[in-house]
Structure 1
Amino acid sequence: MKPVLYIVIPCYNEEKVLPITCELFLEKITTLVKKNKIDNSSRILFVNDGSKDHTWDIICELAEKDEHYMGISQSRNRGHQNAVLAGLMEAKDKCDITISIDCDGQDDINAMDEMVDQYLDGSEIVYGVRSKRDTDTFFKRFTAEGFYKLMNLMGAEVVFNHADYRLVSSRVLKEFANFEEVNIFLRGMFPLVGFKSTSVYYERHERIAGESHYPLSKMLALAFDGITSLSIKPIRMITGLGGFIAILSFIGVVWSVVMAILGKTVTGWASMVCIISFIGGVQLICLGVLGEYIGKIYMEVKHRPRYIISERTEEKK
């Protein structure tokens, strides 16, 4: 029996690129059906993440034009990760496999063929991994690769050069639904689920149209969210730093007492100011990291919904 595939595509202000890439996604679905790899009941599921332009109107028009298109709209913008999650949870009971991919056309959709093949060979999760970053600037390449290295260093298990282009079976998604945390970092959470997984390598292209929604500031925020959501290593580092400074302080106290006994003390404010400033700065950094974790605990205990779907194209038919 051929599997039913849902391609999950988060969209935020994509009115410029959506009319172009939607045809590419439909062509890919059609091609896979003709190759007898997937069932014709497979669908393209757009997730409108509270767009302020005409993205939702375009999605509704596409759904009316072809049955392979469908869409859901969130009540407000909740971020890329929550948009992907909303689409996956919407699809998990309707299909056998999902492939999440961005709308901008940068990820090579032809990699979907190999992803489906790997699923048919027994893999439950197939990660789309960039084979190279030749199209990136030096700064972009340096910061992006540093992002993955930092994540692994901090204890967050992520696949190097993998973003959110992946195939996931409905079996995995049903287990993933038990992960109820509000602060989500999908590329670090799916490896926690387990099951057989593999990777498919592809070349990433330039964005077809529109502007990127992931500047450096958002990348840094995503990295920090990922670290604090998946690892307590920063807190352990603070403990280690505190112990190291305590040892230095104890040595300093012993040295001061010895110098006082020998009568070699010299009064001065420079050393005192340096020590106080150093200790104060370290304390503020440590409090900031602890505050981030406490803030996340605060958000988790509220159990607020991670997404709210306000409209579905199916309801308009």
Structure 2
Amino acid sequence: MIIRQKVPRLGLILPAYNEQEVLKITLTKLRIIRSELVKSGAITADSFIMIVDDGSKDRTWALVNEYEATNPDIIGVKLSRNFGHQPALLAGMSEASKLADIVITLDADLQDNPEIIGQMVAKYHEGYEIVYAVRSSRQTDTWFKRNTALAFYKIAAWLGVDLIPNHADFRLMSKTSVAALMKLPERNLFLRAMVPLLGYPSTEVTYERGKRQAGQSKYPLKKMLTFAIDGITSFSVKPIRFLFDLGILVVGIAGIEIVYTIFEKMFGNPQSGWSSLMISIWLLGGINLIAIGVVGIYIGKIFTEVKQRPRFQIENVTGLKEPENQADISIYKSVNAN
């Protein structure tokens, strides 16, 4: 693997939705880390921090405007509405990669430990195009969240979804790999599985996930379950095959019951069948509803994909200075829907 000689320009991307309580703490911390990396020669002095406001309803965008007015290394991207965490990440990467050589995405709540950013940049200098930040443990999680997360990774692996265990969306990507990611056209975004599909040289660095510095989590249980289901159904058709196999199994059991009933009738020992009848009705009814629901999810995804609606819509970009390269001017007026 070739060691890189050029000092890269880094773009730190923070998707933010109603993060007014924690934004100041996060930006202060990241600006210190950015300055240290500039002094060490790991990144260029014009490296920046980009906050993507995903349709916040609080003062998040107002705070972004205040910070970028006094700090030249702050860039604000405002989406026209709340598109969701994954589209916000994609919007930030799309815009930042126009100016930066490498981008790092991380959450605005500082649970993704920014102290390892230097290690991630060092891995890029070693020649890697993608660097995944992976949690070293889940001891800070509740018992329920820890075990459901482990179950999700096991189920995803069984269904053939290529994921990096204990990795969320804290990662470094080169300009080349971001460009390749943008060529993937799907609207049902699950970046944790999309990025490994690219196949570029990658590695991992580990970190200990911390606690949220302020505010409330934007990923309650319901949203986490929805995200997990969307991720699996976006990258595997095995759930449908599983339903077919389950149907064959149920038919086989029904055949055995028929043979058993015939023998019982022949030998004059019929049993009252109300309980077994009701159980069978409810069981088969439940299986049918689950099957219809799973098929419906896939049909819904097809419906979303064929409409080809924009994955995100940028309303405003602030904090950018005039570029030396005139080819980069388009970012200042961009309303990117790719």
TM-score (norm 2): 0.90
Hey, what does 1:281 align to over in structure 2? 286
Structure 1, gaps ≥5 residues long? none
- Quote the Cα distance in structure 2 between the aligned partners of 1:248 and 1:255: 10
Deviation track 1:89-145 (CA, whole Å, cap 9, x = no partner) reads 112222111000011111111111110111110111100011122222222322232
Structure 2, gaps ≥5 residues long? 1-5, 323-338
- Quote the Cα distance in structure 1 between the aligned partners of 2:212 and 2:142: 14
Deviation track 1:211-234 (CA, whole Å, cap 9, x = no partner) reads 111121111111111111111111
Hey, what does 2:44 align to over in structure 1? 39
RMSD (CA atoms): 1.7
Q: 1:151·1:223 contact (CA, 8 Å) conserved in 2?
A: no
Residue type matched to 2:151 in 1?
A: G
- Quote the Cα distance in structure 2 between the aligned partners of 1:280 and 1:120: 57
1:27 pairs with 2:32: yes
Hey, what does 2:326 align to over in structure 1? none
- Quote the Cα distance in structure 2 between the aligned partners of 1:3 and 1:121: 12
Hey, what does 2:231 align to over in structure 1? 226
1:173 pairs with 2:178: yes
Hey, what does 1:311 align to over in structure 2? 316
Hey, what does 1:183 align to over in structure 2? 188
Identity among equivalent positions (%) equals: 45
Hey, what does 2:143 align to over in structure 1? 138
Residue type matched to 1:62 in 2?
A: Y
In the TM superposition, what is the alpha-carbon distance from 1:24 to its structure 2 partner? 1.0
| Structure 2 residue corresponding to 1:149, chosen from 141, 146, 154 | 154
In the TM superposition, what is the alpha-carbon distance from 1:170 to its structure 2 partner? 0.8
1:217 pairs with 2:218: no
- Quote the Cα distance in structure 2 between the aligned partners of 1:17 and 1:65: 19
Hey, what does 1:158 align to over in structure 2? 163
Hey, what does 2:66 align to over in structure 1? 61
- Quote the Cα distance in structure 2 between the aligned partners of 1:267 and 1:42: 77
1:75 pairs with 2:80: yes
TM-score (norm 1): 0.95
- Quote the Cα distance in structure 2 between the aligned partners of 1:273 and 1:135: 45
| Structure 1 residue corresponding to 2:200, chosen from 186, 195, 203 | 195
Deviation track 1:132-182 (CA, whole Å, cap 9, x = no partner) reads 222222223222323322322332211111110000111011111111111
Q: 2:13·2:49 contact (CA, 8 Å) conserved in 1?
A: yes
1:88 pairs with 2:99: no
- Quote the Cα distance in structure 1 between the aligned partners of 2:217 and 2:280: 44
Residue type matched to 2:169 in 1?
A: D
- Quote the Cα distance in structure 1 between the aligned partners of 2:258 and 2:152: 40
Q: Secondary structure at the match of 1:110?
A: helix
1:104 pairs with 2:109: yes
Alignment coverage as a number of residue pairs: 317
Hey, what does 1:14 align to over in structure 2? 19
